[in-house]
Structure 1
């Protein structure tokens, strides 16, 4: 099998972690990187021994030297760059959230289908061996009926108002960057929620700093999730069932161990001794899908990604958080997409 040739767009923190884990992938070669800053592109290519360094994104996208492109830019650029990759016939692994909202994501997945191009949201946690183990335990009924999930993702974020995490123009805020993880975990087991409740704190730069989210399902399941850019937390996840519970150790989204505790307090722990942070597993998944000729992963499908962003949209509508260019249903002008927003008019909050 020929080596899959990878390119990276963006040279920020996440790109560094991804490239650092790339040496652990089963197959594939890191061939090119693109940054709008020449010094940054050159430094990155030197650090990770990457042959090609491009100074603009589209030179990489149109290069014949790469088969698949990992997009590691701030959220707000994901849509345009993924679209350009699809139109150039390049497979895409785009950092989460795939786009800012469901409408953008839906458009891109439709385009990928039309052009027969592989696309996946980079929900790397899904492919972590610990998560695979937990899924297996739940499916095998090891803790009986799973009915409750608690998960946190908290850390002390930046204070610079221009940092992408605090910048509304760049799609900043806690929810899209890290809130997506606990919501993902809940939906991995329960599907899209039937009820969404949340409380959020909006900071000085008009993005969300932290929220507590309660998701509910018609079947009687609940998920209690919290996410924060201003608090410390052990960042564990607990899945509770009728016969016991599973605890995913800190930090659960990149954990190397988990345990199952039965109702009679018998404990079984599992540890996985994998190198790096675990980004290699999503790369392996993309390479596997490309080898099989499929255009989406069955383990994090387009539908999974769409349902995830739809829940995040609902939470954002509820707290009145809109990014530049998005339609705020609370505005007084006329909407052609009234049906898109009709069930959320009662949730409009105006920030004073």
Structure 2
């Protein structure tokens, strides 16, 4: 079977990191890139040694030179571009969040099933060695019954209100961009939460810039999570149970270090050695799935993506952050009819 051929839509930071790590993947070929700007497409292709540089997204979507397309544009464009890829019979990997809300994601997955193409949200951290190791330790009972997850993702964000991260029109805000990582970690082990609480700071451009999230499960698990564009943090994660805890090193979503500390004080530490940021593991997973004829990855399934968006939709409803084209949330009055004890405060 010939190598899976990839195309990339978008030439921003994410696309650049992805293309860099493509060199470290054991499978697949990076064949094409598309940008709306000719100079950007040409520069990206030259930098990453890509044969085909296209100026129109649809030339790439309809190209016979590619099997799978990685979409690395701002969030609000994910749905339409992924839909176009699916309709053109192309497999697609969409930068996270796969869409801005659960309804859009469900529509994409339904379409993918109908057209028999592979679709995955680019949750690359799921496939990194440290996360795989954490899953293994938890499954082997190394930390006993898991009760607590603490994780954050924070960095000092841009000041320009038109920047993708702060622009409401582009699906900006801390939650969708970086909050999805801690939520992913919590739901990886516990599934979709039974309780969701949130405290947020809404910035001048009407998107969330700092949020702290508490998730709870009927089985007695809690997760305390943070996403911030206001603070510089080490971004560590702790997974704790009655038998011990697992500590993921700094920048846990791509860390090469993991430590297991048992109740009796004994500990084990592993240092992984791999080049780049770690996108290569996700690339290899996609290639494997496509070669096996799967429509979704069993390790980050359509349901996993829907569950993430369900939680983020609920948090956003609480924040009052609504993106263009989304239905307006239920008004305060209507909420009070249903739910008298629902205290709400503006930040």
TM-score range, shorter chain: over 0.9
Distance in 2 between residues matched to 1:332 and 1:252, nearest whole Å: 38
Deviates more, 1:320-329 or 1:128-137: 320-329
Deviates more, 1:169-178 or 1:316-325: 316-325
1:18-33 alignment, distance < 5 Å:
18-33=18-33
Distance in 1 between residues matched to 2:339 and 2:147, nearest whole Å: 27
Change (3 A) 1:291 1:238: same
CA offsets per residue over residues 15-54 of structure 1, 9 Å max, x none?
Answer: 0000000001111111000000000000000000100011
Specify the alignment match of 1:118 in structure 2: 118
Q: Quote the offset at 1:246 in angstroms.
A: 0.3
Deviates more, 1:210-219 or 1:323-332: 323-332
Q: Quote the offset at 1:140 in angstroms.
A: 0.4
Secondary structure of 1:215's aligned partner: strand
| Structure 1 gaps, min length 5 | none
Secondary structure of 2:30's aligned partner: strand
Distance in 2 between residues matched to 1:2 and 1:345, nearest whole Å: 60
1:1-352 alignment, distance < 5 Å:
1-331=1-331, 346=342
Secondary structure of 2:46's aligned partner: helix
CA offsets per residue over residues 33-87 of structure 1, 9 Å max, x none?
Answer: 0000000000000000100011010110000000000000000000000000000
Q: Quote the offset at 1:331 in angstroms.
A: 4.6
Aligned-CA RMSD value:
1.8
| Number of aligned residue pairs | 345
Answer yes or no: is the 8 Å Cα contact 1:151–1:237 preserved in 2: yes
Secondary structure of 2:23's aligned partner: helix
Distance in 2 between residues matched to 1:116 and 1:260, nearest whole Å: 41
Secondary structure of 1:24's aligned partner: coil
Distance in 1 between residues matched to 2:105 and 2:288, nearest whole Å: 23
Distance in 1 between residues matched to 2:293 and 2:210, nearest whole Å: 41
Could you state the TM-score of these two structures normalised by the residue count of structure 1? 0.95
Could you state the TM-score of these two structures normalised by the residue count of structure 2? 0.96
| Structure 2 gaps, min length 5 | none
Secondary structure of 2:201's aligned partner: strand
Deviates more, 1:17-26 or 1:324-333: 324-333
